[in-house]
Structure 1
Amino acid sequence: MRGQWSLIIGLIVAILIAVFAVINVDPVRVNYLFGTADWPLILVILGSVFMGAIVAGTIGILRVYQLQAEIKRLKKEKLNLEGEEINKTGELPSASKKKEKETKL
């Protein structure tokens, strides 16, 4: 359901940007480091939105990769800790937890 709402909101934002860009079709002067050019404002607006989306998407993808690497590291650490617990007690961690519950009762 969340994905559907994200899609709907994304489409609404895209439509608003497209309408805003179509209304602004006058040529504007764009200054580069090495010169200037006259571009239609619609292309400047859409180009800016596109570049912003690329930057935001790249940052998001990098963050996802960082989180996935952290999840792998934590899973590996958990397995190592469980292995150490098995070596110390000689039984599985779930079995020792069951024994603790039984002794409390």
Structure 2
Amino acid sequence: MKGQRYFILALVFALIVAILALVNDEPVQFNYVFGTQDWPLILVILGSAVFGGVVAVSLSLVKIIRLQSQIRQLQKNGASVPPSVEANKDNTTAAKKKEKELSSSENKNVGIKSRLNK
């Protein structure tokens, strides 16, 4: 579901960029390191969008690679579950036991109340 949302947002963004590019088709002077050149504005807009996408994907890949190396390192070191997680499991088990005790005592109370009302 989350992937579909990003895909739809990407399509909407691409549609907006395409509309802006089609509306702005007059030539503009593009300055780069080695000189200048007149290009249609549509190429400048689309080129900028593609360049931004490449930069975003590159930065995401760097983060993914870093996280994968951390995962491998933790697996190699035999990292275990932190004690706080174990404590939470124990608390959850204790809470479930208390809940069962309370529900059984409530059932007893209902039986006693029904006997008293007779």
Question: Deviation string for 1:63-98 (max 9, x for gaps)?
Answer: 10110000010111126x7xxxxxxxxxxxxxxxxx
Aligned equivalents of 1:51, 1:8: Cα separation in 2: 20
- Summarize the alignment of residues 21-100 of structure 1 with structure 2, pairs less than 5 Å apart: 21-78=21-78
**How many residue pairs were aligned?**
81
Question: Deviation string for 1:14-72 (max 9, x for gaps)?
Answer: 10111111111010011122221100000001001111111111111111011000001
Large movers: runs of 4+ above 2 Å: none
Q: Which runs of 5+ in 1 are unaligned?
A: 82-105
Q: What amino acid is the match of 2:40?
A: P
Give me the TM-score of the superposition, normalised by structure 1. 0.71
Aligned equivalents of 1:42, 1:64: Cα separation in 2: 33
Aligned equivalents of 1:33, 1:65: Cα separation in 2: 32
Q: Which runs of 5+ in 2 are unaligned?
A: 81-118
Give me the TM-score of the superposition, normalised by structure 2. 0.64
Q: Which residue of 2 aligns with 1:89?
A: none
1:55 alignment partner, SS class: helix
1:78 alignment partner, SS class: coil
Structure of larger gyration radius: 2
Aligned equivalents of 2:32, 2:76: Cα separation in 1: 50
